[in-house]
Amino acid sequence: MPVPVLILVIILGAPTALIAFMAVRAALVKPHAPPEREVSDLGIDKNALAAHLAGAVQIPTVSMADETYPEKPFFDYKEYIEKTYPLFAKAAECTVVNKYSLVYRIDGSDANLKPACFLAHIDVVPAPPEGWDYPPFGGEIHDGFVYGRGAQDMKCQMIAVLDALEFTLANGGGLKRAAYCCFGHDEELSTLDGAPEIVKYLDSLNVRPEYVLDEGGVMLDGGPLGVDGTLALIGVCEKGYMDVRLSRKKAGGHASTPAKPTALASVAKAVCNVERKQLPPVWTAPTIELIRELAPYMKPLFKFVMVNRDVLSPFIKFALSKLHPISAALVKTTFAPTMAKGSDAANVLPPYAEAVVNCRLIAGNSPETVLAHIKKVAGRGIDVEVINRAVPASKISPADTPSYVKIADAVRTAFPGVKVAPYMFIAATDSRFYYPICDNVYRFSPFAYTEDDQRRIHAVNERCNIDDLKKATEFFVRIIGDTCL
């Protein structure tokens, strides 16, 4: 064969060979079935669980934007816990941290084992009564749901933990591994008075938990990632948080004779620039691991693409950033304009205008990097500043530790058929403060919320499905049994 023809054959055949290689590569990726564990009804009374959650909701432990706290509800909440769970109260030593946060410790029989640590937050966001079908702090039960502020975020998880410990103490006696329950009081405000002070207290005692488990991981439909059925995603890290204010000062005046651009128009253009000119998507270790775990269960086209992530990386990152808000949040820092201010009257040009952009920082994008990017794209004449406190993305906990494996097994047992994978939690929790004392910090909320229920969090008619509350309690019973007994 003449040399030019041979070269042409090689050139034309290379893409075909590459595609064939990629297809074989994808075909070799098979589902790996984890060992099945017999699932039995633990005999937990879901009506008692509902009553416990209803009682917790009825105590209005509201965290206020001015950082003032109505003392009585927080004190009443502590009394409610200890009255509702007598075995827990008897076994646990309680330490009040910074007046409102609670740390309960149940000793284990083996002092050589590092303790388990379960987190929850006591506080809830305000709930004006308008628009609710039932009083927001009534804790009413209707059609299989407990209604009220905190029913989802996150008294449901706290009640599930406490009921699981009460159940364990009633049926199995004491623990082998010590367990801490750390309940902060200011998670909704993201201030530094609750969880950070708890961590300082634990650190002063040289407490080093084997693992920390908080809210944050989700159960959701696998459709956007090409997987049939439900995904159970365990957060091994979380994104950073930063609020940035864009502002412009310019002479105001009567709206009938505007000098263009007005202060408000300049700010509006800056907001559009920030939304349009975003930082490029990036791969993070948790997202790569998420793809690796889920690829065997994906539909053929998704599987072909994801298994060959190294070859198709630019295409995949672009597709994920456009496919769905959840997939976009997994590969990029997000910018969400949330607040704006201009004139107080319709016919007056504002001498000052501002807008606030909420940024959720992916690992690898530091607050300094994001701020510099916003300053670059906002445009001339725009003042850019960070308000509140910038929080970088958290450290990443390993997804191959014995504690992670046991959490994943407990998820599969409580929710048969779900596909479990680690991921980067896209919001913020108290757990980010615990890295100084623990490397194994995980986030999972064992509640299969519908999209409708997800929209109720921090909104009117927040509610918790009683059947889901029972499953969540069973999940924590199994975690305690697998790691503490």
3-state secondary structure of 448: coil
Using the 8-state DSSP alphabet, how is residue 227 labeled?
A: B
Contacts of 301 (CB under 8 A, 6+ apart): 226
Q: Which two tokens stand for residue 346?
A: 């319709």
Respond yes or no: is residue 187 known to be catalytic.
yes
The answer to whether residues 20 and 444 touch, using CB atoms and an 8 Å cutoff, is: no
Q: Is 446 exposed, middle or buried (0-12, 13-18, 19+ CB in 10 A)?
A: buried
**Which listed residue (163, 166, 186, 187) is catalytic?**
187
Distance of CA 259 to the CA centre of its chain: 45
Q: Which two tokens stand for residue 386?
A: 């960070």
Among 142, 155, 186, 160, residue whose Cα is nearest residue 461: 142
Rg for the chain, CA atoms, rounded: 26
Tell me the residue ranges of DSSP E strands in 352-426.
352-361, 383-391, 419-425
**Which listed residue (123, 153, 289, 474) is catalytic?**
123
CA distance 308 to 114: 40
Place of tokens 């190294």: 310
Among 447, 441, 437, residue whose Cα is nearest residue 474: 447
Respond yes or no: is residue 197 known to be catalytic.
no
Residues annotated as catalytic (active site), given as ranges: 123, 187
